Structure 1
Amino acid sequence: MNNELNSFVKDISQQYIFMLKDWIPADSSIAIAVENAYVYFHSGHQSIHLEIGQQVLPGSIADQVLQTQKKTDAILDNSLFDTPYYGIGYPIYIQNKPAALVIVLPSSFTAKRAEPFQFLTGKQEEEWNPVAINKISHIESLQKKTWFYVEGDQYKTSITLKELQLRLPSYFIRIHRSYIVNIHFIKKMARDLTSNFIVTLIDGSELPVSQSYLNDLRSALEF
């Protein structure tokens, strides 16, 4: 990028931040991509990192905006950040070049706008069963499908873990990329022989805790 365009991008970006800061949370992040690369990034959260000049990933919000020139929004899962985030992308132009303005909002901002689930409807064989959310011990992502467990029974749901994490009551904690657990069903937490944390449930199920979610678990259970 030439110096003139770089200066122009910086100036226009600061103007966007000035306008947006009145309505977005302080821990939101803002990115601008021109053509196929990021030209500006303001991080409001330490877990989100982008480099100036970094190429736009296929399928990302910025990519979809650049391809369609339409507003795009999506939930960003743990493959990119340590917690789910909600991103909104807007088509803009910078010096007549197609660009994308992406705002990444924290999950807490989105959760306030959505009522927590009171129940989940799960499929078991050829039956669909509505189950009260507080009866679910844990939820698992396995082979690109989502399963939840009630008193040892397994049910399938079409809702993904990242969507569930934004709509579950606060007593559900994400402990792994593949697991969300109801803390009321936790019997104990301990390290295994390789020093990895394991959560043992009342029914004897053992679930791994990944390092990226360990602090969340410690904070929720105060240990």
Structure 2
Amino acid sequence: MEINDINFEKDVLQQYKIILEDWIPATASIAIAVNDAYIFFSSGHHQIKLAVGEKVKEDSIAQKVLTTRSKTDAMMDNSLFDAPYYGIGYPIEIAQQPAALVIVLPPNFIKAKQGPYQFLTGKQNEDWTPVPINEITYIESLQKRTWFYVNEEQYKTTITLKELQTRLPSIFIRIHRSYIINIHFIKKITRDLSSNFLVVLKNGTELPISQSYINNLRTVLEF
């Protein structure tokens, strides 16, 4: 189905939207994909943006629904949007063609449902220590393991950065695929010799900010 040929289905798409709005939170977004492209998108969150006509990405909720023709739900990273999201996809038909209806719920939905972490339990050698969340300077993914840092001490946790990002309180923000930082420990944001952004923490640690996360950081810190 060509995108231009879908115009006659607009009423059907709007009906889906109207019906779903009675059942999903106002911050949820709705996407519908046919074949390999999105034909409809209604955003409920400023970080959730998608263009009609955009191709369905590999390993996305929509792609999994179109491939398996079954309901699919998963916590996804920020490869599709500017923020991680929880998606629920349903197989439907549009103009007698297989389609995917995807409900996109932003990270705060998961936080509200489960509650933010109050502490993380970290491992050092053979000891485990519960650490209050606000004492953690930053969290790092390194060699397929997750580490967090408190007063120059390094602890290991089994929780992934993707999982942590959905349940950390708002004082934490992701700046890189490998780093989540505690805003309260930022000394300054600067640039290196190549004009790439860096975060310098109060203990002198320098961490890179990737292009994928700089816009969100600018929005949160208003710079």
User: So what's the TM-score if we normalise by structure 2?
Assistant: 0.82
Q: For 2:100 and 2:72, how far apart are their aligned partners in 1?
A: 10
Q: What residue number does 2:161 align with? A: 161
The residue matched to 2:74 in structure 1 has which SS? strand
C-alpha distance in structure 2 between counterparts of 1:195 and 1:73, whole Å: 39
Q: Is 1:40 matched with 2:39? A: yes
1:73 matched to 2:73? The reply is yes
**What's the CA shift for 1:27?**
5.1
Corresponding residue of 1:49: 50
Is contact 1:77-1:162 (8 Å) kept?
yes
Structure 1, 88-97 or 165-174: larger mean CA deviation: 88-97
Q: Distance between the aligned counterparts of 1:8 and 1:143, measured in 2?
A: 51
Structure 1 residue 219, shift from structure 2 partner: 4.6
Q: Displacement of 1:149 after TM fit?
A: 1.1
Structure 2 counterpart of 1:170: 170
After TM superposition, give the deviation of residue 53 of structure 1 in Å: 7.2
Identity of matched residues, %: 64
The alignment's TM-score, normalised by the length of structure 1, stands at: 0.82
Displacement of 1:9 in angstroms is 3.9
Provide Cα deviations, 1:50-86, integer angstroms capped at 9, x if missing partner: 44373x4442212322344432212221222211122
Equivalent-residue separation in structure 2 for 1:222 and 1:94 (angstroms): 42
Aligned positions, number: 221
Write the distance in 2 (CA, Å) between the matches of 1:27 and 1:8: 28
Q: Is it true that 1:10 corresponds to 2:16 in the alignment?
A: no
Q: Name the stretch that deviates more: 9-18 or 44-53.
A: 44-53
Contact 1:10 1:40 in 2 (8 A): no
- Give 5+ residue unaligned stretches, structure 2: none
5 Å matches for 1:81-96? Answer: 81-94=81-94
User: Do the aligned residues in 1 keep the contact of 2:6 with 2:39 (CA within 8 Å)?
Assistant: no
Secondary structure in structure 1 of the residue aligned to 2:82: coil
Deviation at 1:115, TM superposition (A): 0.5
In structure 2, the CA distance between the partners of 1:10 and 1:140, relative to structure 1 (3 Å rule), is: same
1:1-223 matched pairs, under 5 angstroms: 1=1, 6-7=6-7, 9-26=9-26, 28-34=28-34, 36-38=35-37, 40-44=39-43, 45=46, 48-52=49-53, 54=55, 56-94=56-94, 97-223=97-223
Offset of 1:211 from its aligned partner? 3.8
Give the drift of 1:100: 1.8
**Kept in 1: contact 2:82–2:216 (CA 8 A):** no
Contact 2:138/2:148 (CA < 8 Å) preserved in 1?
yes
> For residues 2 and 218 of structure 1, what CA distance do their matches in structure 2 show?
37
Deviation of 1:30 (Å): 2.1
Deviation at 1:189, TM superposition (A): 2.5
